[in-house]
Amino acid sequence: MALLELVQQSVIHTSTTPPSRRLRPLRTTPALRAMVRETEINARDFIYPLFVRHGTGRNEIHSMPGIFQLSVAEAVREAESAASLGIPAVILFGIPAEKDPIGLENFADNGIVQQAIRAIKREIPEMVVITDVCMCEYTDHGHCGVINTNNHSSLPEGYVLNDPTLDVIARAALSHAEAGADIVAPSGMIDGMVGTIRTALDYANFEHIPILSYAVKYASAFYGPFREAAESPPKFGDRKTHQMDPANVREALCETAMDVAEGADMLMVKPALPYLDVLYRVRQAYPEMPLVAYNVSGEYSMVKAAAANGWLDECKVVLETLTGIKRAGADLMITYHAKEAARWLNG
């Protein structure tokens, strides 16, 4: 007798014992599934990245469809449309007019990021403006710090010098705060960056400005498209002497411990998807700290490329991804999909 007939005649059913526990009943209808849903994502969880440059208009970043380098006026428009979708925050990356060894425009009063902060805060005061504090977009060598050019030093030529870099990024953070940034986010993985910035801000009466530390940032190939967007690839070498080795997780807990001790107000793990275990470990170790995950450029571009080929349902994949990142422990997610995801959620 064919198996189907056996089933229809309940032969198999009557000859087997029913399961002692059933988990499917609560999955029967959309309403039941919604009642027992453990993790819910919302536009309030999103931080939207904006790339700002001099000039007018906008140009699309080849490797990141839907993401643009924006003039200040266009950045305001993007921030307005994010706000109208319920997204509470943007994070700004600046592309300077000129690059030099220490990235002077990073702390220039009329630098591109400073202009964008003022314009966004003027037009949309409730929008939380976060600034990425790093040197790589501003330096002619594309590195995140002051480079060792002194051949007499015992350090290798081209090494990113730690302590001289602290002074420069503290100036940048201070300049962003002076322009009206709500949160500063050092991203260079330079030892002591949080403490140095905290001291500089406090000394200048910016004790109320929080620091979101890119506490656990890996030396990741997933930043590829961002480096096109921010025009920030290193001209030589890589970032492995400051960003973390993808193989390590215990070290991630050292990084977070250090930043918490130095006064970080919020922590970040970056990238998100290959590091969900790291996110989970940091969440467990610091249940009291607000935790952000950066769903980075490469993670965005992969989904866009697959969707453009009709290989994936973009909406479903993005919402599933963001739910997974939140379930692993993130309170907030920096994502290039923020506006689209907010639209899909508001549905």
Residues lying near ligand PBG in the complex (CB under 6 A): 132, 134, 136-137, 187, 223, 226-227, 239, 296-297
Q: Which is nearer to ligand PBG, 238 or 277 (CB)?
A: 238
Q: Token pair for residue 81?
A: 């449309």
State the Cα angle at 77 between 72 and 80, rounded to 5°.
Answer: 125
Q: Which is nearer to ligand PBG, 239 or 337 (CB)?
A: 239
Q: Which is nearer to ligand PBG, 115 or 220 (CB)?
A: 220
> C-alpha dihedral over 67, 72, 77, 81, to 10 degrees?
60
Instruction: Determine the residue type at 327.
Output: R
Question: Which residues are designated catalytic?
Answer: 217, 270
Cβ 180 to ligand PBG shortest distance, Å? 20
CB-closest chain residue to ligand PBG: 226
Q: Which is nearer to ligand PBG, 185 or 342 (CB)?
A: 185
Cβ 227 to ligand PBG shortest distance, Å? 6
Cβ 59 to ligand PBG shortest distance, Å? 18
Strands 332-335 and 291-295: parallel
SS3 of residue 326 by DSSP? helix
SS3 of residue 280 by DSSP? helix
Could you tell me which residues come within 8 angstroms of residue 199 by beta carbon, excluding any fewer than 6 positions away? 170
Q: Say how many residues make up the chain.
A: 347
Please provide the DSSP assignment of 130-193 as one string: EEEE-STTTBTT--SSEE---TTSSSPTT-EEHHHHHHHHHHHHHHHHHHT-SEEEE-S--TTH
Cβ 137 to ligand PBG shortest distance, Å? 6
Q: Token pair for residue 35?
A: 């009642």
Cβ 72 to ligand PBG shortest distance, Å? 19
Q: Which is nearer to ligand PBG, 56 or 213 (CB)?
A: 213
